[in-house]
Structure 1
Amino acid sequence: MVGPEPNLTPTSGTTRRWTMHFAALEHSRRDFIRAAGLGSAALLTSGLRPLSAAAYDPADCRLMEFDVSYRTEIASLPRDAKDVQIWMPLPSSDHAQQITGLDIVSPLPYDVTREARFGAKMLHVRAEPHSAPFAVEARYRVTRGQVGIQPGSLPENERSKYLQLTNTVRTTPEIDMFTEEIVGGETDPYEIGRLVFDGIREILFYDSSIPGCGTGDTAWIMRHKRGKCDDYHALFMAMMVSRGVPVRWEQGFPLPYPEGGAAEGGQLEGDCTGAHCWTSFYAPDHGWVPVDVSEGDKLESGGEFYFGRLSPNRFQVSVGRSVVLNPAQGGDPLSSFAFAYAESDGIPLIYALNYENIIKYTVGRVEMA
């Protein structure tokens, strides 16, 4: 039970704020959540920190360096399998992170390929049924500093690929109405991004009871007003693209925020549970502007940091939604590509029964302000 649905009738005037009316409860959004019994126990994040933890400033962490072991273990394969394929995302160096010491360990031959639209790297392995059990592992070092706005231009011939929505990341009449209410007649992409960032944080709350990374279905998100990182950024993407603003989806993993400059190693496993996503949008007068709406919403104070900046406690492994692998998988496009994907004769293998992903990391260096 999450309490009464807010009244979604647009308000008049120029405030561009989506007004939320709760019968008999005149609290702020977070006060309402607490009053409804959805306090810290229900809102613990599967990512960086719980909503109630407001004692840290994300601007304090300047750099993190950590070693990653990304391992996919194939436990069993169907007896009638003929063509078994595994795809594992591989991180790339860019303005936000440096990847060094890449080492791939595989008992079977492999190729390193790239996704066609955004050029994201991946490891591709083809196996035979009698090969199981076996494991494929990629090891590398990640160095990330704080990420800010990336100046630069967006070539016109590349613009269209950042304006594509999907069958789940889409607009609806309700989303269009919400966008019109908060954005109004604003035409500057940077200001549109700020209004959408603030508007989403106003109407959604982070709900860790939702399985995995969230539904990523904007119609569901707008109806229920809650979600996880996939949900926040799916809605952000749909709203921005509806206004003609290019958006880049970035997929990766979170690390715990280093308190007092100290950070430990850890392990993530699953087919979505431990992943994290964020986006960047393009504004011609600024460049690519990074935003992490869900992390910005978790903080009771300091959330503004995540508009135009990202903290270093994360790493990216792929870009884009509705991902077609290389070579192409037999199944549908993947909604995103954080975890290795496996299939037999074009049919997805069953996670936890046929295979498992295990991501371990060890933090080697932290620099604080």
Structure 2
Amino acid sequence: MQRRHFLQLSSIAASAGSFGSVFVAIPAAAANWRQFEVTTFVDLSEKTAQSKVWIPVPAAELPGYQRTVDVSFSAPGATKAELFAVPGTDVRMIAVQWADAASAHTVEVKSRIAVLDRATDLGAAGTARKLPAAQLRPYLQPTSLAPLDGIVKETADKIQAEAGKPQDAIGKARAIYDWMVANCTRDGSVAGCGTGDVRYTLTSGNLSGKCADLNGLFTALSRASGVPARDVYGVRVDDSVHGFKSLGKSGDISKAQHCRAEFYADGYGWIPVDPADVAKVALEEQPGGLPKDAPKVRAARAMLFGGWEGNWMAYNTAADVRLPGAGKAVGFFMYPQGETAQGRLDSLDPAHFTYRITSTKLG
């Protein structure tokens, strides 16, 4: 058996050696922090001598709202198992491979985190330190799923023109958010969190999808408007304490992955938004759905421009992620990924992959 423990993800371990695992307590004064243990268990029933699995783990730290306290894992029978960080990104994963088809093909990963609600006071003067242009430049670039030319740029320009061409980042982002809330809907039939293919969403004639589609659209339209923005990929870990039945999940969270978004404004830093969850409340908060002017939808709309509830764990903010030892990049890394000698496994089908993710509240 191989077992590794990492203290606040402070080091990258090779496949030999071990480290003690210590749960670092959150200070008592930080009473609003919620603490969780998230366990991902993978059991490959299709055992081959070329099997590989890549499991996302939470970002080391997202200042002000998420702390990774500890990550540990066990991979009995594996030839190699390590915590791997993708250079130049905030992506971290447990990468496992097997060479013996007769060995156990299981992996268990435990992540302990603390999370906090976010709320940005956009009515107050911003005092956050300004980030250098070089640090923000990647968040103004196109990706494989989100080009910034053609229909994306045309749509962004139309939105800004209809809003009176606001000059500041918050005004531009607000125009995009309001346009999306008015025009986009959630499609419950879409597999997983959607593909995140922005050009397809805009050319399909049907502005709908799930979180990777809709929040991905927000990010692309923001970038095309000159506003640094990024998707943040993660998973819901608890029920909502703010009265939204549709915006939480506890216990078995194998299908609770959720992509959020952020945009950057001088003086405020990264500002959280989630137009996809406004659409989710409209569709799922009660049987038959709710109109967009319903009190609960309006409450979600107000909360989710500048705020997120801390019942969610972030993995990373990266696009076009290259998995070590894999043939091609994935557009985003939010699900366990795997492949055998027969090819890539379906990450959106945990029942047949097979994997299970659970969340336990610690305090």
Give TM class, smaller chain. Answer: 0.7 to 0.9
In the alignment, is residue 217 of structure 1 matched against residue 197 of structure 2?
yes
- Whether the aligned pair in 1 keeps the contact of 2:216 and 2:261 (CA below 8 Å) is no
Q: After superposing the two structures, state which structure 1 stretch, 241-250 or 307-316, moved more.
A: 241-250
- Whether the aligned pair in 2 keeps the contact of 1:324 and 1:334 (CA below 8 Å) is yes
- Whether the aligned pair in 1 keeps the contact of 2:82 and 2:94 (CA below 8 Å) is yes
Q: Specify the alignment match of 1:88 in structure 2.
A: 55
In the alignment, is residue 258 of structure 1 matched against residue 241 of structure 2?
yes
CA shift at 1:236, angstroms?
Answer: 0.7
Within 5 Å, give how 1:271-310 maps onto structure 2. Answer: 273-297=255-279, 298=281, 299-302=296-299, 303-310=301-308
Match of 2:72 among 103, 108, 122: 103
In the alignment, is residue 71 of structure 1 matched against residue 41 of structure 2?
yes
How many Å separate the matches in 2 of 1:140 and 1:68? Answer: 5
Residue 245 and residue 132 in structure 1: after superposition, are their counterparts in 2 closer, same or farther (change >3 A)? Answer: farther
The CA deviation string for residues 144-200 of structure 1, in whole angstroms up to 9 with x for no partner, is 111234933333333332222223322464443332232123231121111111111
Residue 248 and residue 346 in structure 1: after superposition, are their counterparts in 2 closer, same or farther (change >3 A)? Answer: farther
Q: Percent same amino acid among aligned pairs? A: 23
CA shift at 1:347, angstroms?
Answer: 4.2
Q: Specify the alignment match of 2:134 in structure 1.
A: 157
Match of 1:267 among 232, 252, 263: 252
How many Å separate the matches in 2 of 1:178 and 1:196? Answer: 10
Within 5 Å, give how 1:335-346 maps onto structure 2. Answer: 335-344=331-340
Equivalent residue of 2:195, what SS? coil
How many Å separate the matches in 1 of 2:174 and 2:86? Answer: 31
Residue 233 and residue 350 in structure 1: after superposition, are their counterparts in 2 closer, same or farther (change >3 A)? Answer: closer
- Whether the aligned pair in 2 keeps the contact of 1:84 and 1:129 (CA below 8 Å) is no
In the alignment, is residue 196 of structure 1 matched against residue 183 of structure 2?
no
- Whether the aligned pair in 2 keeps the contact of 1:252 and 1:314 (CA below 8 Å) is yes
> Aligned letter for 2:275?
V
Within 5 Å, give how 1:1-369 maps onto structure 2. Answer: 63-78=33-48, 81=49, 83-91=50-58, 92-95=60-63, 96-107=65-76, 108=78, 109-149=80-120, 151-171=128-148, 173-184=150-161, 185-222=165-202, 223-254=205-236, 255-258=238-241, 265-269=250-254, 273-297=255-279, 298=281, 299-302=296-299, 303-325=301-323, 327-330=324-327, 332-344=328-340, 347-350=343-346, 355-365=353-363
TM-score (norm 1): 0.72
Residue 182 and residue 349 in structure 1: after superposition, are their counterparts in 2 closer, same or farther (change >3 A)? Answer: closer
Runs (5+) with no aligned partner, structure 1: 1-60
Q: After superposing the two structures, state which structure 1 stretch, 308-317 or 68-77, moved more.
A: 68-77
CA shift at 1:334, angstroms?
Answer: 0.9
Q: How much is the aligned-residue C-alpha RMSD, in angstroms?
A: 2.8
> Aligned letter for 1:65?
Q
4+ residue segments displaced more than 6 Å: 259-264
Equivalent residue of 1:190, what SS? helix
- Whether the aligned pair in 2 keeps the contact of 1:105 and 1:138 (CA below 8 Å) is yes
Q: After superposing the two structures, state which structure 1 stretch, 345-354 or 88-97, moved more.
A: 345-354
The CA deviation string for residues 108-166 of structure 1, in whole angstroms up to 9 with x for no partner, is 34211111232321111121142554211111222211123493333333333222222
TM-score (norm 2): 0.73
How many Å separate the matches in 2 of 1:243 and 1:260? Answer: 34
- Whether the aligned pair in 2 keeps the contact of 1:189 and 1:282 (CA below 8 Å) is yes
- Whether the aligned pair in 1 keeps the contact of 2:239 and 2:250 (CA below 8 Å) is no
> Aligned letter for 2:239?
P
How many Å separate the matches in 2 of 1:305 and 1:354? Answer: 37
The CA deviation string for residues 340-367 of structure 1, in whole angstroms up to 9 with x for no partner, is 21224694235568732210012233xx
Higher RCO (CA < 8 A, seq sep 6+)? 1
Q: After superposing the two structures, state which structure 1 stretch, 119-128 or 177-186, moved more.
A: 177-186
Equivalent residue of 2:356, what SS? strand
Residue 206 and residue 133 in structure 1: after superposition, are their counterparts in 2 closer, same or farther (change >3 A)? Answer: same
How many Å separate the matches in 1 of 2:83 and 2:136? Answer: 26
Equivalent residue of 1:196, what SS? helix
- Whether the aligned pair in 2 keeps the contact of 1:264 and 1:362 (CA below 8 Å) is no
How many Å separate the matches in 2 of 1:259 and 1:155? Answer: 36
Equivalent residue of 1:220, what SS? helix
How many Å separate the matches in 1 of 2:145 and 2:267? Answer: 30
How many Å separate the matches in 2 of 1:281 and 1:63? Answer: 23
- Whether the aligned pair in 2 keeps the contact of 1:229 and 1:277 (CA below 8 Å) is yes
Equivalent residue of 1:137, what SS? strand
How many residues align? The count is 297
How many Å separate the matches in 2 of 1:147 and 1:87? Answer: 29
How many Å separate the matches in 1 of 2:243 and 2:260? Answer: 25
